[in-house]
Amino acid sequence: MRVVDIKALAKDIMTFAGRDVEKYSTAARDIINKNSHAGLLINSEELTDALDTIKSLRKSERFLALAHSSLISELEFNDLDSRLIGSFWSLHGLLALNLNLADAALASSLRATDYLKDDRSALLVTTYSQIATAARNLRDYATAIKYYGMAKKVAEELSFKELSTWQVFRLGKMYVNYLEQPSRALKYLADAHLIFESINTLTAKKGAAACLDEIGDIYRQTTTNLDRAEQLYKESLRINTEIEYLGGVARNLAHLGLCAERRGLLERAKSMLEESVGITRKEIGQERGVAIRLGQLARVCIEAGEIEYAEKCLQEASQLTQDYRDYRSMASHLIKWGSLYRKIKKYNKAKESFYKAMGLAKKHRMFDIESDSYYKLSELCLVDLQDYAQAKEMALQGVRVRQTSWNYITESNPKLEEVEDKVEIANMYKSLFEKLFEDYKNDLASIENTTKKAYDIALDEAQRRHSNLSQLFKFGAVMSGTKHEILNLLNGVASELRNILGNQSVAGTVRDSLDKSRNRLLRGAELLSGSFFESLIASEAGHAQNISFSTRTVLPPIYEWVRQEAIQQNCNIHIDEEIPDVFIAVEPSLIRVIVMNLIQNAIDSFAEKNARYIRLRTREDAADKFLVIEIADNGSGMTEHELKQIFQFGWSTKPGHLGLGLPTVRFLLDSVDSDVKVKSKFGEGTTFLICFPSFK
């Protein structure tokens, strides 16, 4: 009979599949077939040796250990001891669970119980506990509760007090971290803590410290009683330090750091989390813990504005969670990436990260992270993008996800007839009610806050617009009174220039310059004397009185007028010839005023630049039924502060200017149900988008 070289073939699996653990079973099957080992038996001695090898690799070389067990799982067992076979399948399930292959872990652990069901032992207890944990990770909470209970029952039958208490601890941990029932979790954890304290063993002391740490989480996360949380964390830290359990020490320090973060003590939080990360790195097989702590450290650094350090922490944390397939941490880190991008004002990337977190959370039924993603998006839309409708919708979606979560959790609880202890029933429903009530209060507060902020911002914008209109009407009244004098002045200057140009002794270059000036004066006089100016002062600018205009008829002469003006001011202007064939109900004179105003702004923005370039193009937004005129320049651009002020009456970046142009543009567009959008980057240029309603 040929001997199977398990170690060599396991390395072949690693060469083929690397860390893509979902391919291990297929790779093992292919390698066995390729080496003509199909149907090969494995004897007791070989399996015992293999189990010893896998156990020695489990922490330090987790992927290689799973490669070994994946290979063995494809071999045939014949007439072997049931307990030995059950031990293998239980260990294979544990390795799969360690690498978040919850489906494979559940199947392997259930298979192990087929061989262990008559062997009432500690191994059966741990296998039941594995089944429960795998089911919990798959969000099958009813199965998880059932098997933790079975593990506890068998341990009690065997008088394994400590092992039984660990199942109580795991139930409590599940209720606080997955089922969101803090009061029920508190009961389990408090009971477990009392029992652990009565057992004088090293693992029992670890258990007592772990219970205190989890209860501290309840006070920190749910009741926000930071004083009590810190007290519990410190007591847990004392125990872990005493027994020299570094993993527990690192966890306690991290949680104390999170309390400091909640208090706004960011430097203290950062220091504690850095110490926690350093200790966790020393522990073999704690890569997942390192990733979690790095993510927490990154969040603190984002709050403190230490963006480069935060990015470095998040990059390592994200890579580790991908390697070890920790979907919960992956989604949590994506939210932190979104917060980082938001901090540096990369809002599109922030939105993309929040949506990715939402998608991952939805796929794996992580309702709390999915709802958190919606709330983060709502805040982004409200505060940064000022998209109030989207902000409200995101907040409502978060509430809907929360409701779905509660429906799912309620369905996962044991039925009344399955719970004999009436106090347990009371605790279950008390906890459900308390948490549900708290969630509804939080949801209402969130929606109320979103609505209030949107209202305040909208009110502020309305007040600014009202102020602008008042100032514009005042200016219009003054202009109306002085219009005649201004026209006389313009025509008088134009007449004087005509007389000067009639003098043949005027030099050619001077003649050209004076001629350009005269033409500009005449265009101004033409505009000022037209009916459009009267309607502007009467606040009826642009209303075409049910008359529509063809864009291909109206726009070319306006664009030619614009071209001549730009050329006279030594600007390189490119006007796309393609004009959509649509109709608009807007007076051509209004379009000319708006376009020329924006072109003049572009010209003024060039300052000392040599390459002065303007591009004007026209396109149709068919989906929203708008004609869009785009004016882009490569001028000096604007800062974010300047961008927020540009439509404010009397505000200008240009010395000596009154700040009338853009408020007038906004007023004119509002009068014809149109809009203007602007994008600008300091030092690079500005783009204006004018949007007129169109039809065919």
CB 300 within 8 A of CB 266: yes
CB 621 within 8 A of CB 675: no
- Average the pLDDT over 628-655 and give the result: 78
> DSSP readout, 498-514?
HHHHT-TTS-HHHHHHH
- Residue 396, pLDDT score: 81
The residue with greater pLDDT, 29 or 432, is 29
CB atoms within 10 A of CB 18: 12
Across the chain, mean pLDDT equals: 80
- Strand 76-77 vs strand 41-42: parallel, antiparallel, or unpaired? parallel
- Average the pLDDT over 463-491 and give the result: 52
Angle at 330 between CA 324 and CA 333, to 5 degrees: 130
Cα 123 to Cα 113: distance, rounded to the nearest angstrom: 10
CB atoms within 10 A of CB 659: 19
- Residue 541, pLDDT score: 47
Q: Which one-letter DSSP state was computed for residue 61?
A: S
CB 300 within 8 A of CB 268: no
Residue 12 has pLDDT above 50, yes or no: yes
CB proximity list for 668: less than 8 A, separation 6 or greater: 536, 541, 542, 590, 593, 594
Residue 542: band (very low, low, confident or very high) from pLDDT cuts 50, 70, 90: very low
The residue with greater pLDDT, 270 or 18, is 270
| Phi (first) and psi of residue 377, to 5 degrees | -65, -40
- Residue 393, pLDDT score: 83
Token readout for 93 is: 């399930």
Token readout for 63 is: 């992927």
| Phi (first) and psi of residue 283, to 5 degrees | -85, 130
CB 283 within 8 A of CB 246: yes
pLDDT tens for 228-262 read 999 999 999 999 999 999 999 999 999 999 999 99
- Residue 258, pLDDT score: 95
SS3 assignment, position 159: coil
| Residues in a beta bridge with 518 | none
Cα 55 to Cα 123: distance, rounded to the nearest angstrom: 15
- Average the pLDDT over 280-293 and give the result: 88
334: left (phi over 0), alpha (psi -120 to 50) or beta: alpha
- Average the pLDDT over 43-50 and give the result: 85
Cα 487 to Cα 521: distance, rounded to the nearest angstrom: 10
CB atoms within 10 A of CB 38: 12
The residue with greater pLDDT, 365 or 352, is 352
- Residue 478, pLDDT score: 45
pLDDT tens for 324-336 read 778 888 999 999 9
Cα 389 to Cα 408: distance, rounded to the nearest angstrom: 29
CB atoms within 10 A of CB 279: 21
pTM of the model as a whole:
0.62
Token readout for 216 is: 């501290």
Interaxial angle between packed helices 141-157 and 122-137, expressed in degrees from 0 to 180 and rounded to the nearest 10: 170
Percent of the chain with pLDDT over 70: 76
Burial class of residue 297 (count of CB atoms within 10 Å of its CB; 0-12, 13-18, 19+): buried
- Most confident range (mean pLDDT) of 15-19, 26-30, 145-149, 236-240 is 236-240
Residue 657 has pLDDT above 60, yes or no: no
Angle at 654 between CA 651 and CA 655, to 5 degrees: 100
Residue 157: band (very low, low, confident or very high) from pLDDT cuts 50, 70, 90: very high
Cα 450 to Cα 394: distance, rounded to the nearest angstrom: 10
SS3 assignment, position 685: strand
CB 231 within 8 A of CB 255: no
CB 313 within 8 A of CB 303: no
Residue 1: band (very low, low, confident or very high) from pLDDT cuts 50, 70, 90: very low
> DSSP readout, 322-355?
HHTT-HHHHHHHHHHHHHHHHHTT-HHHHHHHHH
Residue closest to 676 by CA, chosen among 629, 643, 634, 641: 629
Cα 43 to Cα 222: distance, rounded to the nearest angstrom: 54
Q: Which one-letter DSSP state was computed for residue 612?
A: -
Residue closest to 110 by CA, chosen among 98, 17, 97, 531: 97
Handedness of CA 384, 389, 392, 393 (dihedral sign): negative
Least confident of 158-167, 426-435, 508-517: 426-435
SS3 assignment, position 119: coil
Residue closest to 575 by CA, chosen among 564, 583, 586: 564
Q: Which one-letter DSSP state was computed for residue 414?
A: P
> DSSP readout, 218-230?
HIIIII--HHHHH
pLDDT tens for 174-228 read 988 887 778 888 889 999 999 999 998 999 999 999 999 999 998 888 767 889 9
pLDDT tens for 518-532 read 565 555 555 555 554
CB 377 within 8 A of CB 354: yes
Cα 593 to Cα 599: distance, rounded to the nearest angstrom: 10
Residue 472 has pLDDT above 60, yes or no: no
CB 204 within 8 A of CB 168: no
Residue 517: band (very low, low, confident or very high) from pLDDT cuts 50, 70, 90: low
Radius of gyration of the chain (CA): 36
Amino acid at 526: E
- Average the pLDDT over 671-676 and give the result: 83
Residue 423 has pLDDT above 60, yes or no: no
- Most confident range (mean pLDDT) of 390-394, 412-416, 463-467, 552-556 is 552-556
- Residue 609, pLDDT score: 57
| Residues in a beta bridge with 613 | 572
pLDDT tens for 102-127 read 999 999 999 999 999 888 889 999 99
CB 454 within 8 A of CB 388: yes
Residue closest to 30 by CA, chosen among 41, 43, 15, 42: 15
The residue with greater pLDDT, 540 or 320, is 320
Percent of the chain with pLDDT over 90: 32
Least confident of 515-524, 556-565, 607-616: 515-524
CB 68 within 8 A of CB 91: no
